[in-house]
Structure 1
Amino acid sequence: MDAYAQLQQCLAEFHQGWNERREYKIRTSGGLEIRVEAIRHPSLIRQLNTFQGRVTARAERGAPNGPGSRPPSSLDALELLHEINTALTAWQPVTVCESADPDDTRACLRAFRDLRRRARWLLGYDPPTTLLDGHVCDHCGGALRVATDWSTDIRCAGHPDTPPCGTEYSRWQLAVDHIKELIP
């Protein structure tokens, strides 16, 4: 899939929503059966508009014996909506023109992938991630990304100018390799 098609697919999550495939197992009289369901999620923008996150501890603090004011919920969603709107305005010529400069299209795709990742993290679909220092992808030499709590496998994050190659590494294998280096 070319960069423009990937960009349109990414933008569709912001405006139209997306389908997610979920597999689950159920025990039947015939044994264990694997079933699949498709879940339709509303658009990220709609979800961010109605997001009622929790107030951070910092926002809850105030004067111990005085009146105070705090927001009814986290302002993170509002800030992210503003960033999305700013990006849509700034990248509008690229998002509507398939014949835009390929470098601009890839830069636009990176910007919206980052916004999508942040929105999905804020809404609870994905765990927060961080880049893994000292390691690169064996296939393309790109950076590697993992959940901050190590609850996901490690994935290629690509280079600043290229998308990820799709390679995944077992988080457990990295731990085993690290332990083997420590044992003489």
Structure 2
Amino acid sequence: MERTLKRIADNCVLMHNGWNDRVEYEQAIKYHTTECDTLGGCDCPTKNEKRAREVKRPGLLEQLKEYQQNKDVNRNPKAARGAPKIKTPKMHPELNGYLTLDEITCDAYMTLDRVLEEAGRDRLWLAQSLKGVFQGLHYQVAQFSETHPDLVHEVDKALNRWINQAKTTLHMTVADAMFANMVCENCNGALAIAWDNSTDIRCIGSPSDPPCGHTYPRSEWITLYEKGKK
């Protein structure tokens, strides 16, 4: 349960606050010699050196809001009238991802309202912005983690769903490939990896249970493959 609560806390931070990315780049550095006349210009050697810095990324809610505001969605009257009736997104590619923030907002309030009611918590706590909800959600869930562990897992699973939905819209992830004959050794959940092999193999849970968070780095792939052959 402690691991689940930690994952809920981390995912809430991704939604409302964001994260830091390490950005590596090269910078041209000129090394002046003792004979160098810097005032008159010089031909001192220049070397490209690697540098790194931390870049703050805004929360997924803020990124989705910006994406929505800048998404080009044909604003002709006919298109506007037709938007609410859309049933087949593939017929309206210009709206792809445009409604993601609204979908997450509706699903979050509906899901958390039911969870708080079943847990016996004050549902009026949800009468605030969605950002405020994610800022305090970990505390709320921790209050009923011992009496309603099933509801904690439901919140954990919902958060994973919202984050994956947001990242897909923002093109932060690629499609996953699932492994047919291997399961997580920690919880027997399914295993998956990005199609371009850019991620570690990770547990994605099962239809009834959320992922446990276990991952397999490249150094363990051969061992995992050998286990799958047995």
TM-score tier, shorter chain, comes to 0.5 to 0.7
Give the TM-score, by structure 2 length: 0.55
Give the TM-score, by structure 1 length: 0.66
Per-residue Cα deviation, 1:85-122 (whole angstroms, up to 9, x for no partner): 12321214273622222210111111111210221122
**RMSD of aligned Cα (Å):** 3.6
Structure 2: unaligned runs, 5 residues or longer: 32-46, 74-90, 120-136
Question: Does structure 1 residue 148 correspond to structure 2 residue 195?
Answer: yes
- Report the equivalent of 1:112: 159
Higher relative contact order (CA 8 A, sep 6+): 2
Q: Secondary structure at the match of 1:163?
A: coil
The answer to whether the 8 Å contact 2:19/2:58 transfers is no
More helix by share: 2
Question: Does structure 1 residue 77 correspond to structure 2 residue 93?
Answer: no
Task: Give, in whole Å, the separation in 2 of the partners of 1:3 and 1:10.
Answer: 11
The alignment of Structure 1 onto Structure 2 pairs a total of residues equal to: 161
Task: Give, in whole Å, the separation in 2 of the partners of 1:126 and 1:12.
Answer: 18
The aligned runs of 1:24-173 (5 Å cut-off) are: 24=24, 26=26, 35-51=51-67, 52=70, 73-78=94-99, 80-89=100-109, 90-92=111-113, 93=116, 95=137, 97=140, 98-100=142-144, 101-159=148-206, 160-170=208-218, 173=221
The answer to whether the 8 Å contact 1:153/1:171 transfers is no
Q: Displacement, 1:139? A: 4.1
Q: Structure 1 25/15 Cα, relative in aligned 2: closer, same or farther at 3 Å?
A: closer
Which structure would you say has the larger Rg?
2
- Report the equivalent of 1:20: 20
Q: Secondary structure at the match of 2:94?
A: coil
Q: Structure 1 32/172 Cα, relative in aligned 2: closer, same or farther at 3 Å?
A: farther
Structure 1: unaligned runs, 5 residues or longer: 56-69
